[in-house]
Amino acid sequence: MHAPKEKQLIYVLSDSVGETAELLAKAALSQFDEGCAITRRVPYVDDLQTVDEVVKQAKETDGMILFTIVLPEVKQYLMEQAADQAIPVYDILSPLVTMLEDKLEAKPRNESGLMHMLDEEYFRKVEAIEFAVKYDDGRDPRGILKADVVLTGVSRTSKTPLSQYLAHKRLKVANVPLVPEVDPPKELFEIPKEKVIGLKITPEKLNSIRTERLKALGLKAEANYATFQRIQEELDYSADLMEKLGCDVIDVSERAVEETANLIYQLVQSKQM
């Protein structure tokens, strides 16, 4: 009987996290018998000493090396050491980068970690969107203390769409509806006033929005929700509360959601400087 062949070791090197290189290695390995090789990821390779250590291990285990290193001096040193030790080595990125360089007539940055930075941006956006859904419409006041910005105002002042729009800018947004019969959450008074944005609107505009909302729901436009008396009561209450909070207030009457969101974003950015 033939002795079972030892699994091939593939060292996957990167000057960032190395997820891309390992995924490509595993995609290639999927074309072969399962378990014929295993990958060993070595992230954040940005010094020559680490290269020496991996080359030594690859030599001792009869392994091979795949890499996505863009730092020129580290990449060159790795290629030279691997060639000197007769270790199979494959540069995953360079062929494509060279092709793009020729086609785009532009020089690559040769900076490590750029892809990971993009990944982090994406995950921050997803996290912010999930946050906005979880803490929408005052569902859980604990979100107020965790938020980057808290929107507050009466019903139909675009709190939810604004929260979602700002989430795509990676801001964690909670929103709190203001109703005269319901005390606002105490958390609203516990956070810095700079984090709170009040939304106000004219009675006429709010009446128009609420009337259309009632029609869309198949309800009578004369419902108390859309009467000028009720609207004025709510707006007076919200104005008094916003004054107590000492927060910035934005009039959304004649502004599109995108315009208001950009204004809020600029306010938040200016306070973080």
Q: How crowded is the C-beta side of 215, counted as CA atoms within 13 Å? A: 7
12 known ligand binder: no
157 marked among binding-site residues: yes
Q: Which of 67, 82, 91 is nearest to 16 (CA)?
A: 67
159 annotated as a binding-site residue: yes
- DSSP category for residue 41: E
Alpha carbon separation from 233 to 69, 116, 118, 182, 184 (Å, rounded): 64, 51, 47, 13, 16
Tokens (6 digits) for 213: 């909302």
Is 154 within any annotated ligand binding site? yes
b (16+ CB within 10 A) / e for 28-40:
ebeeeeeeebebb
Is 169 annotated as contributing to ligand binding? no
155 marked as part of a ligand binding site: yes
Q: For the chain, count helices (H), then strands (E).
A: 10, 8
**Token pair 């929700």 is at which residue?**
225
Residue numbers belonging to the annotated binding site for ADP = 153-160
Provide the annotated binding site: 153-160
